[in-house]
Chains A and B, each alone.
Chain A
Amino acid sequence: MPTEIKAPILRLHDVQIAYGQIQAVKGIALDVYAGELVCLIGANGAGKTTTLNAISGTLPIRGGSLQFQGQDITSLPAHLRLRAGIALVPEGRGIFTRLSVEENLRMGAYTRDDKDGIEADLERVYTMLPRVKERLAQVAGTLSGGEQQMVAIGRALLSRPKLLLLDEPSMGLAPLVVEKIFEVVQTVVKEGMSILLVEQNANLALEFSQRGYVMDGGKITLAGSGEDLLNDPKVRSAYLGEEAA
């Protein structure tokens, strides 16, 4: 477990987010340590995606603070957070449908100038995602859902993030494809990247994660190691579809 005395790479303190009058996230605290895969699970409307968007800077927060690598990033705009090392793979994949696959991937390196580094990273992504490499010239909007998800992840990797935010990568995908995507996620974690994963597929997410947070009604109701949460009767009854014991 990397939950040693090290400082967390990402720390949320009492974060509150609201859409107009509606309070979507009601003061949550959350940590991600370097090299960790942490998942955030919960039912529809619990505030998971909202939280992730707030971390990426695409959504303003109403209260609380965000720290990344010890720096306060609460008021940092989204495009600078990416430069700082936070990359988001948005819900519903959010690829550029009218650009080719290769253009999509290269877009991930939008903020970078090191040509050689970009080419090297592209090669890395190709080895990790062979399916994507076969379709470089294809318009991304014509890919299958799973392939689009792979492109979205590959694109995020091209910014060389330190923290990857994955929003429901399994959404609407066949089980076999989901497995492939989680393989990729694990490879990325092994390379030392930290990942915060939002998932509705709680079983799968907890199985792969070192730690997990359970969100409900805008609050974090449970936190623990992936294994503990997986075996927690409350989690099992609420999110894993089992009758309460």
Chain B
Amino acid sequence: MNELAVAIPWLGSRNPKAARSVVLALMLIAPLIAALCGNTWVRILDFALLYVMLALGLNLVVGFAGLLDLGYIAFYAVGAYTWAFLASPHFGLHLPFWLVLPAGAGFAALAGLILGAPVLRLRGDYLAIVTLGFGEIVRIFMNNLNYPINITNGPQGVNMLDSLNLFGWDVSRHIPITDNFKINSLVMFYYVFLLFVVGSVIVIRRLQVSRIGRGWAAIRDDELAAKAIGINTRNMKLLAFAMGATFGGVAGGLFGSFQGFVSPESFSLMESIAILTMVVFGGMGNLGGVIIGAIALSLLPEILRSVALPVQHAIFGHVILDPEVLRMLLLSLAMILMMLIRPAGMLPAHARYSRPELASAGKGKQ
């Protein structure tokens, strides 16, 4: 549970207990508050949690190991399509979630290895280009593998996916309390996703402070030096790709079960970039930052969408800027401002030591 306090570091470092309870309470009541504003908002929160998982997974590759991956959404796609193949009328398979979800994670990890192996010697821009290509290849495969044998059902996608059924409990069913009051399934999905996110945070936090995490940090800073201190850089990089992909695969499976429908267009390059933006915006390598970045960048556009139209109507009497246009404009502006003011993200990794004048304060504890 210590990992919870990471989410709000400024309180977490002073009063971890208080930080933990604040975060816990917020996480638990968030969907109830959102439900008051309408079910759309609960759905948005559900998606925010999926984005948190994706951002956490991508952060493992980009933030920890320093490998720029612009095709991360491919692993999300692999997870989602695994669910579609193994739990839908498409192939007539309806396997239980505890088989499908690990299978999705496994296939995504395999995809991570397939991507990782040929790019081991690439860094920076070159790596970015190849991973970008990889993401597109996966999407185009999904788009075109309906002929000569129909595997993915092409651009139409696969629908009527089985919903999440946790040991007999169908999460997608509303829970009736009284005749005219029932708990919406979206709220239940929220709590299920929350469990997965908390689990991911704990696993990733453990990884970060483990020997593996230190190995990744070494590779990120200087690959030759990493080799020189005895790190098997090849295996460590493959591991980073595979482990990052695993989280993407799990998130993809959850997405499939939640949405009930998958199609290639959900896995476009823009999605990869959106997730990378969340990681960079929040603070590469800092778990709390990445979580905040993912939540902020998945909620803000929706808030904007609901606010932009009425505000423009009220001020100008008619709509001047479409919310979609405005969204890209404001997001880009936010990124530019961020890079100018806080280039390391909202919560930079290693904030305590990042300025030399603070170093003496840190030394006191030695």
Residues 326-366 of B at the A interface (beta carbon under 8 Å): 349-350, 353-354, 356, 359-360, 362-363, 365-366
Flag if B228 contacts A95 (CB, 8 Å).
Answer: no
Contacting pair B227 A136 (CB below 8 A): no
Is A79 a contact partner of B230 (Cβ separation < 8 A)?
Answer: yes
Asked whether any CB of chain A lies closer than 8 Å to the CB of B224, the reply is yes
Bound-state CA distance A159–B356 (Å) is 28
The answer to the question of B222 belonging to the interface, with a C-beta cut-off of 8 Å to chain A, is yes
Which one of A82, A107, A111, A142 has the greatest number of beta carbons of chain B within 10 Å?
A107
CB of B37 within 8 A of chain A?
no
B118-126, B210-218, B309-317: which lies at the interface: B210-218
User: Chain B: interface secondary structure?
Assistant: helix
Considering the complex, give the chain B residue whose CB is closest to the CB of A81.
B230
Given A135-B359, A137-B366, do A159 and B229 touch, yes or no (CB 8 Å)?
Answer: yes
A98 lies within 8 A of chain B by Cβ: yes
Q: Are the C-beta atoms of B230 and A99 separated by less than 8 Å? A: no
Stretch at the interface among A6-14, A83-91, A236-244: A83-91
Interface membership of B221, Cβ < 8 A: yes
Once the chains bind, are A137 and B214 in contact (CB under 8 Å)?
no
Q: A137-B353, A138-B353 are in contact. Are A107 and B228 (CB under 8 A)?
A: no
Given contacts A137-B366, A138-B356, A139-B354, contact A96 B230 (CB under 8 A): no
CB distance from A182 to the nearest CB of B (A): 21
- Contact partners of A79 in chain B: CB under 8 A: 227, 230-233
Given the complex of chains A and B, what is the CA–CA distance between A152 and B350 in angstroms? Answer: 21
Give 10 A-B pairs besides A88-B228, A96-B218, A155-B229 with Cβ atoms closer than 8 angstroms.
A56-B228, A58-B224, A77-B232, A94-B222, A107-B218, A107-B229, A110-B218, A138-B359, A142-B356, A142-B359
Give the top 5 A-B pairs by smallest Cβ distance, nearest first. Answer: A82-B230, A94-B225, A137-B362, A96-B221, A138-B359
Determine if B94 is an interface residue (Cβ-Cβ < 8 Å): no
Given contacts A90-B224, A95-B222, A97-B222, A137 and B359 within 8 Å (CB-CB): yes
**Nearest-CB distance from B102 to chain A (Å)?**
31
Q: Tell whether B173 is near chain A: CB-to-CB under 8 Å.
A: no
- Interface check A185, CB cutoff 8 A: no
Is B220 interfacial (CB 8 A cutoff)? yes
A96 to B231, CA, bound (A): 13
B363, A82: Cβ atoms closer than 8 Å: no
Provide the bound-state CA to CA distance between A87 and B225, in Å: 10
